[in-house]
Copies of this chain bind each other. A is one copy, B any other.
Amino acid sequence: MSPVVNGRVLFNEIPSDFPVPGKTVVYDTSQVIDLDTVNVDRGILIKTLYLSIDPYMRVRMREPDVKSYLPAFELGECLTGFGVGKVLRSENPKFEVGDYVYGFLEDILSEHKYYSVQDGAGLVVIDNKYELPLSVYLGVLGMPGQTAYTAWKEYSNAKKGETVFVSTGGGPVGSLVIQLAKRQGLRVIGSAGSDEKVEFMKDIGADVCFNYKTTCTRDVLLKEGGIDIYWDNVGGETLNCALEAAKLRGRIIVCGMITGYNEGYNTLISNLVQIHVKSLTVNGFVIIHFEGKYDEEFYRVMTPLVASGEIKYREEVTVGLDKVGDVVLAVQKGENRAKAIVQVAID
Protein backbone atom coordinates (compact mmCIF):
# COMPACT_ATOMS: atom_id res chain seq x y z
CA MET A 1 0.00 0.00 0.00
CA SER A 2 1.36 3.40 -0.84
CA PRO A 3 1.73 6.16 1.75
CA VAL A 4 -1.41 8.02 2.76
CA VAL A 5 -1.81 11.52 4.17
CA ASN A 6 -1.74 11.45 7.99
CA GLY A 7 -3.83 14.51 8.83
CA ARG A 8 -3.09 16.11 12.22
CA VAL A 9 -4.46 18.85 14.46
CA LEU A 10 -1.60 21.06 15.67
CA PHE A 11 -1.48 23.50 18.55
CA ASN A 12 -0.54 26.68 16.74
CA GLU A 13 -1.00 29.66 19.04
CA ILE A 14 -1.78 30.33 22.70
CA PRO A 15 -5.24 31.93 22.79
CA SER A 16 -5.77 35.13 24.78
CA ASP A 17 -9.38 34.23 25.55
CA PHE A 18 -11.54 31.79 23.59
CA PRO A 19 -9.65 29.45 21.25
CA VAL A 20 -10.01 30.44 17.59
CA PRO A 21 -10.52 27.66 15.03
CA GLY A 22 -7.80 27.82 12.35
CA LYS A 23 -5.60 29.93 14.56
CA THR A 24 -5.33 28.35 18.03
CA VAL A 25 -5.35 24.93 16.39
CA VAL A 26 -4.80 24.21 12.73
CA TYR A 27 -5.50 21.16 10.62
CA ASP A 28 -2.35 20.00 8.87
CA THR A 29 -1.91 17.55 5.98
CA SER A 30 1.84 17.76 5.49
CA GLN A 31 2.66 14.30 6.86
CA VAL A 32 2.29 10.99 5.09
CA ILE A 33 2.51 7.50 6.53
CA ASP A 34 2.95 4.08 5.00
CA LEU A 35 0.80 1.82 7.15
CA ASP A 36 2.53 -1.34 5.97
CA THR A 37 6.10 -0.29 6.45
CA VAL A 38 6.16 2.31 9.23
CA ASN A 39 8.41 1.10 12.07
CA VAL A 40 6.23 0.38 15.11
CA ASP A 41 9.32 -0.34 17.22
CA ARG A 42 7.82 -3.05 19.47
CA GLY A 43 4.70 -0.93 19.93
CA ILE A 44 1.46 -0.67 17.98
CA LEU A 45 0.00 1.22 15.05
CA ILE A 46 -3.41 2.64 15.81
CA LYS A 47 -6.13 4.01 13.60
CA THR A 48 -7.96 6.74 15.47
CA LEU A 49 -11.76 6.32 15.42
CA TYR A 50 -13.11 8.82 17.96
CA LEU A 51 -11.60 11.74 19.86
CA SER A 52 -13.04 13.30 22.97
CA ILE A 53 -13.25 17.08 23.15
CA ASP A 54 -13.40 18.17 26.79
CA PRO A 55 -13.48 21.46 28.71
CA TYR A 56 -10.16 20.76 30.46
CA MET A 57 -8.30 20.96 27.14
CA ARG A 58 -8.40 24.75 27.36
CA VAL A 59 -6.25 24.53 30.49
CA ARG A 60 -3.46 22.99 28.39
CA MET A 61 -3.51 25.86 25.86
CA ARG A 62 -1.16 28.04 27.90
CA GLU A 63 2.42 29.15 28.37
CA PRO A 64 4.47 26.05 29.23
CA ASP A 65 6.00 27.59 32.35
CA VAL A 66 2.59 28.06 34.00
CA LYS A 67 1.99 25.02 36.19
CA SER A 68 -1.25 23.08 36.19
CA TYR A 69 -2.41 19.52 36.62
CA LEU A 70 -1.53 18.59 33.04
CA PRO A 71 1.36 19.94 30.98
CA ALA A 72 0.76 22.65 28.42
CA PHE A 73 0.29 21.62 24.80
CA GLU A 74 3.46 22.16 22.79
CA LEU A 75 3.30 24.70 20.02
CA GLY A 76 3.65 23.05 16.61
CA GLU A 77 2.80 19.61 18.03
CA CYS A 78 -0.38 17.52 17.91
CA LEU A 79 -3.13 18.08 20.40
CA THR A 80 -3.63 15.05 22.60
CA GLY A 81 -6.63 13.84 24.51
CA PHE A 82 -8.80 10.88 25.24
CA GLY A 83 -9.67 8.75 22.27
CA VAL A 84 -10.71 5.37 20.95
CA GLY A 85 -8.75 3.60 18.24
CA LYS A 86 -8.24 0.28 16.53
CA VAL A 87 -5.00 -1.66 16.47
CA LEU A 88 -3.80 -2.10 12.89
CA ARG A 89 -0.42 -3.65 13.66
CA SER A 90 1.10 -4.86 16.90
CA GLU A 91 4.54 -5.85 18.12
CA ASN A 92 3.40 -5.53 21.75
CA PRO A 93 2.04 -8.81 23.19
CA LYS A 94 -0.62 -6.86 25.18
CA PHE A 95 -2.45 -6.01 21.94
CA GLU A 96 -3.79 -7.94 19.01
CA VAL A 97 -4.62 -6.63 15.58
CA GLY A 98 -8.28 -5.63 15.60
CA ASP A 99 -8.36 -4.71 19.32
CA TYR A 100 -10.20 -1.54 20.22
CA VAL A 101 -8.29 0.54 22.71
CA TYR A 102 -8.83 3.70 24.68
CA GLY A 103 -6.76 6.08 26.73
CA PHE A 104 -7.11 5.85 30.41
CA LEU A 105 -6.80 8.54 33.06
CA GLU A 106 -3.45 10.25 32.94
CA ASP A 107 -2.20 8.00 30.19
CA ILE A 108 -3.55 10.03 27.35
CA LEU A 109 -4.37 7.98 24.34
CA SER A 110 -4.44 9.87 21.28
CA GLU A 111 -2.58 12.36 19.39
CA HIS A 112 -5.13 14.14 17.26
CA LYS A 113 -4.15 12.45 14.02
CA TYR A 114 -5.43 9.67 11.78
CA TYR A 115 -2.75 7.16 12.56
CA SER A 116 -0.31 6.98 15.38
CA VAL A 117 2.49 4.72 16.47
CA GLN A 118 2.69 4.21 20.23
CA ASP A 119 4.35 1.91 22.72
CA GLY A 120 0.91 1.08 24.11
CA ALA A 121 1.71 2.08 27.69
CA GLY A 122 -1.45 3.17 29.45
CA LEU A 123 -3.77 2.02 26.68
CA VAL A 124 -6.60 -0.25 27.69
CA VAL A 125 -8.19 -2.86 25.46
CA ILE A 126 -11.94 -2.36 25.46
CA ASP A 127 -13.87 -5.37 26.73
CA ASN A 128 -17.05 -4.50 24.90
CA LYS A 129 -19.16 -7.47 25.92
CA TYR A 130 -22.37 -5.42 25.80
CA GLU A 131 -21.51 -4.24 22.27
CA LEU A 132 -21.92 -0.60 23.17
CA PRO A 133 -21.06 2.15 20.69
CA LEU A 134 -17.33 2.72 21.11
CA SER A 135 -17.81 6.44 21.70
CA VAL A 136 -19.29 5.75 25.16
CA TYR A 137 -15.76 5.04 26.34
CA LEU A 138 -15.09 8.73 25.91
CA GLY A 139 -18.19 9.85 27.78
CA VAL A 140 -20.43 8.06 30.22
CA LEU A 141 -17.98 5.13 30.46
CA GLY A 142 -14.85 7.23 30.04
CA MET A 143 -13.09 10.01 31.87
CA PRO A 144 -16.25 12.15 32.33
CA GLY A 145 -18.18 9.20 33.76
CA GLN A 146 -15.31 8.23 36.03
CA THR A 147 -15.03 11.83 37.18
CA ALA A 148 -18.69 11.98 38.13
CA TYR A 149 -18.68 8.57 39.80
CA THR A 150 -15.44 8.96 41.73
CA ALA A 151 -16.00 12.48 43.07
CA TRP A 152 -19.63 11.74 43.95
CA LYS A 153 -18.60 8.62 45.80
CA GLU A 154 -15.65 10.24 47.51
CA TYR A 155 -17.05 13.62 48.48
CA SER A 156 -20.83 14.01 48.20
CA ASN A 157 -21.63 12.38 51.54
CA ALA A 158 -25.12 12.32 50.03
CA LYS A 159 -28.14 11.38 52.10
CA LYS A 160 -31.59 10.50 50.82
CA GLY A 161 -33.85 13.55 50.78
CA GLU A 162 -31.04 16.08 50.47
CA THR A 163 -30.95 18.63 47.67
CA VAL A 164 -28.09 18.80 45.19
CA PHE A 165 -27.52 21.55 42.63
CA VAL A 166 -25.65 20.42 39.52
CA SER A 167 -24.19 22.99 37.15
CA THR A 168 -23.66 21.94 33.51
CA GLY A 169 -26.26 19.29 34.23
CA GLY A 170 -26.71 18.60 30.52
CA GLY A 171 -23.06 17.68 30.03
CA PRO A 172 -21.44 14.26 30.32
CA VAL A 173 -20.23 14.75 33.91
CA GLY A 174 -23.24 16.68 35.24
CA SER A 175 -25.83 14.40 33.65
CA LEU A 176 -24.29 11.35 35.32
CA VAL A 177 -24.16 13.19 38.65
CA ILE A 178 -27.88 13.93 38.30
CA GLN A 179 -28.64 10.26 37.70
CA LEU A 180 -26.43 9.04 40.55
CA ALA A 181 -28.12 11.53 42.88
CA LYS A 182 -31.62 10.50 41.80
CA ARG A 183 -30.78 6.83 42.30
CA GLN A 184 -29.78 7.71 45.85
CA GLY A 185 -33.07 9.51 46.53
CA LEU A 186 -31.88 13.11 46.40
CA ARG A 187 -33.77 16.08 45.07
CA VAL A 188 -31.91 17.52 42.08
CA ILE A 189 -31.70 21.06 40.75
CA GLY A 190 -29.89 21.23 37.41
CA SER A 191 -28.72 24.15 35.33
CA ALA A 192 -27.58 24.21 31.71
CA GLY A 193 -27.12 26.72 28.94
CA SER A 194 -29.72 25.63 26.39
CA ASP A 195 -33.33 24.55 26.40
CA GLU A 196 -32.34 21.30 24.74
CA LYS A 197 -30.02 20.50 27.65
CA VAL A 198 -32.77 21.49 30.08
CA GLU A 199 -35.05 18.95 28.40
CA PHE A 200 -32.39 16.28 28.76
CA MET A 201 -32.04 17.04 32.48
CA LYS A 202 -35.80 16.56 32.82
CA ASP A 203 -35.59 13.25 30.95
CA ILE A 204 -33.03 11.91 33.37
CA GLY A 205 -35.06 12.88 36.38
CA ALA A 206 -33.89 16.27 37.63
CA ASP A 207 -36.65 17.78 39.77
CA VAL A 208 -35.96 21.42 38.98
CA CYS A 209 -34.24 22.40 35.74
CA PHE A 210 -33.41 25.79 34.35
CA ASN A 211 -31.47 27.57 31.62
CA TYR A 212 -29.01 29.81 33.47
CA LYS A 213 -28.92 32.18 30.50
CA THR A 214 -32.57 33.09 30.93
CA THR A 215 -33.22 32.34 34.63
CA CYS A 216 -31.43 33.77 37.65
CA THR A 217 -29.51 31.00 39.42
CA ARG A 218 -29.60 32.76 42.78
CA ASP A 219 -33.39 33.14 42.66
CA VAL A 220 -33.91 29.47 41.86
CA LEU A 221 -31.60 28.22 44.61
CA LEU A 222 -33.13 30.44 47.28
CA LYS A 223 -36.68 29.72 46.13
CA GLU A 224 -35.97 25.99 46.37
CA GLY A 225 -34.91 26.40 49.98
CA GLY A 226 -31.17 26.06 49.68
CA ILE A 227 -28.86 23.20 48.81
CA ASP A 228 -26.96 20.51 50.67
CA ILE A 229 -24.55 19.76 47.84
CA TYR A 230 -23.29 21.81 44.92
CA TRP A 231 -21.55 20.19 41.99
CA ASP A 232 -19.45 22.93 40.48
CA ASN A 233 -18.25 22.69 36.91
CA VAL A 234 -18.25 26.41 36.26
CA GLY A 235 -16.98 28.57 39.16
CA GLY A 236 -17.55 32.33 39.04
CA GLU A 237 -20.92 33.81 39.88
CA THR A 238 -22.65 30.42 39.94
CA LEU A 239 -20.30 29.31 42.69
CA ASN A 240 -20.98 32.57 44.50
CA CYS A 241 -24.74 31.89 44.39
CA ALA A 242 -24.26 28.32 45.56
CA LEU A 243 -22.21 29.50 48.55
CA GLU A 244 -25.07 31.79 49.50
CA ALA A 245 -27.67 29.05 49.09
CA ALA A 246 -25.63 26.31 50.80
CA LYS A 247 -27.09 24.87 53.97
CA LEU A 248 -25.18 24.32 57.19
CA ARG A 249 -22.36 21.79 56.71
CA GLY A 250 -23.08 21.63 52.99
CA ARG A 251 -20.64 20.16 50.52
CA ILE A 252 -19.25 21.65 47.34
CA ILE A 253 -17.41 19.55 44.78
CA VAL A 254 -15.32 21.69 42.45
CA CYS A 255 -14.87 19.62 39.37
CA GLY A 256 -14.17 22.48 36.96
CA MET A 257 -14.28 26.25 36.65
CA ILE A 258 -14.95 26.76 32.99
CA THR A 259 -16.04 30.39 33.41
CA GLY A 260 -12.43 31.20 34.21
CA TYR A 261 -10.65 29.13 31.58
CA ASN A 262 -11.07 31.66 28.81
CA GLU A 263 -11.56 34.98 30.51
CA GLY A 264 -9.55 34.67 33.73
CA TYR A 265 -10.64 34.35 37.32
CA ASN A 266 -11.86 37.87 37.81
CA THR A 267 -15.20 37.23 39.44
CA LEU A 268 -15.30 38.49 43.00
CA ILE A 269 -16.53 35.60 45.15
CA SER A 270 -17.97 37.75 47.91
CA ASN A 271 -19.62 34.77 49.63
CA LEU A 272 -16.43 32.88 50.34
CA VAL A 273 -16.92 33.62 54.05
CA GLN A 274 -19.90 31.25 53.93
CA ILE A 275 -17.37 28.40 53.86
CA HIS A 276 -16.44 29.45 57.38
CA VAL A 277 -19.82 30.61 58.64
CA LYS A 278 -21.69 27.46 57.58
CA SER A 279 -18.84 25.00 58.17
CA LEU A 280 -18.93 23.96 54.52
CA THR A 281 -16.65 21.38 52.94
CA VAL A 282 -15.24 22.18 49.52
CA ASN A 283 -13.39 19.50 47.60
CA GLY A 284 -11.52 20.15 44.41
CA PHE A 285 -11.39 17.21 42.07
CA VAL A 286 -9.28 16.15 39.12
CA ILE A 287 -9.63 12.47 38.29
CA ILE A 288 -5.92 11.93 37.61
CA HIS A 289 -5.14 12.58 41.29
CA PHE A 290 -7.21 9.59 42.40
CA GLU A 291 -5.24 6.79 40.76
CA GLY A 292 -8.20 4.83 39.55
CA LYS A 293 -9.54 4.31 43.07
CA TYR A 294 -13.04 3.26 41.96
CA ASP A 295 -12.31 2.07 38.42
CA GLU A 296 -13.04 -1.60 38.93
CA GLU A 297 -16.30 -0.80 40.71
CA PHE A 298 -17.18 1.86 38.16
CA TYR A 299 -17.03 -0.50 35.19
CA ARG A 300 -18.64 -3.36 37.07
CA VAL A 301 -21.59 -1.24 38.22
CA MET A 302 -22.04 1.24 35.42
CA THR A 303 -21.51 -0.77 32.25
CA PRO A 304 -24.67 -2.91 32.64
CA LEU A 305 -26.68 0.17 33.63
CA VAL A 306 -25.58 1.97 30.49
CA ALA A 307 -26.21 -1.13 28.39
CA SER A 308 -29.75 -1.55 29.77
CA GLY A 309 -30.55 2.13 29.29
CA GLU A 310 -31.08 2.72 33.00
CA ILE A 311 -28.28 5.26 32.85
CA LYS A 312 -28.82 7.63 29.93
CA TYR A 313 -26.31 9.69 28.03
CA ARG A 314 -26.21 11.94 25.01
CA GLU A 315 -23.49 12.60 22.51
CA GLU A 316 -22.97 15.06 19.72
CA VAL A 317 -20.72 13.44 17.16
CA THR A 318 -19.01 15.72 14.66
CA VAL A 319 -17.46 14.00 11.68
CA GLY A 320 -13.98 14.95 10.52
CA LEU A 321 -10.63 15.55 12.17
CA ASP A 322 -10.49 18.96 10.54
CA LYS A 323 -13.46 20.00 12.72
CA VAL A 324 -11.57 19.68 16.03
CA GLY A 325 -10.95 23.44 16.29
CA ASP A 326 -14.65 24.22 15.89
CA VAL A 327 -15.68 21.64 18.47
CA VAL A 328 -13.05 22.82 20.96
CA LEU A 329 -14.52 26.33 20.73
CA ALA A 330 -18.12 25.10 20.99
CA VAL A 331 -17.28 23.19 24.18
CA GLN A 332 -15.66 26.26 25.73
CA LYS A 333 -18.70 28.36 24.85
CA GLY A 334 -21.14 25.68 25.97
CA GLU A 335 -22.59 25.60 22.44
CA ASN A 336 -22.10 21.86 22.06
CA ARG A 337 -25.42 20.05 22.40
CA ALA A 338 -24.13 17.06 24.36
CA LYS A 339 -20.88 15.21 25.07
CA ALA A 340 -18.64 16.35 22.23
CA ILE A 341 -17.06 13.63 20.16
CA VAL A 342 -15.15 13.94 16.89
CA GLN A 343 -15.42 10.93 14.65
CA VAL A 344 -12.12 10.66 12.84
CA ALA A 345 -12.71 7.53 10.81
CA ILE A 346 -15.18 4.73 10.25
CA ASP A 347 -14.10 1.38 11.67
CB neighbours of A286 from chain B (8 A): 276-279
For chain A, the count of residues having a C-beta within 8 Å of the partner chain is: 36
Q: Is the CB of A284 within 8 A of B289?
A: no
CB distance from A227 to the nearest CB of B (A): 15
Q: Is A276 touching B289 in the complex (CB atoms < 8 A)? A: no
Which listed residue (B272, B279, B281, B285) contacts A269, Cβ 8 A? B272
Per assembly, the copies of the chain total 2
- CB contacts (< 8 Å) of A277 on chain B: these are 59, 68-69, 284, 286
14 sampled A-B residue pairs with Cβ under 8 A = A249-B289, A254-B276, A256-B276, A264-B270, A265-B270, A265-B273, A266-B270, A277-B286, A278-B284, A279-B283, A279-B289, A280-B282, A280-B283, A281-B283
Name 18 extra pairs, CB < 8 A, besides A239-B272, A279-B285: A69-B279, A235-B273, A248-B289, A254-B276, A256-B276, A264-B270, A265-B272, A265-B273, A269-B269, A275-B282, A276-B284, A277-B284, A277-B286, A278-B284, A280-B284, A281-B282, A281-B284, A282-B284
A residues within 8 Å of B by Cβ? 59, 68-69, 235, 239, 248-249, 254-257, 260, 264-266, 268-286, 289-290
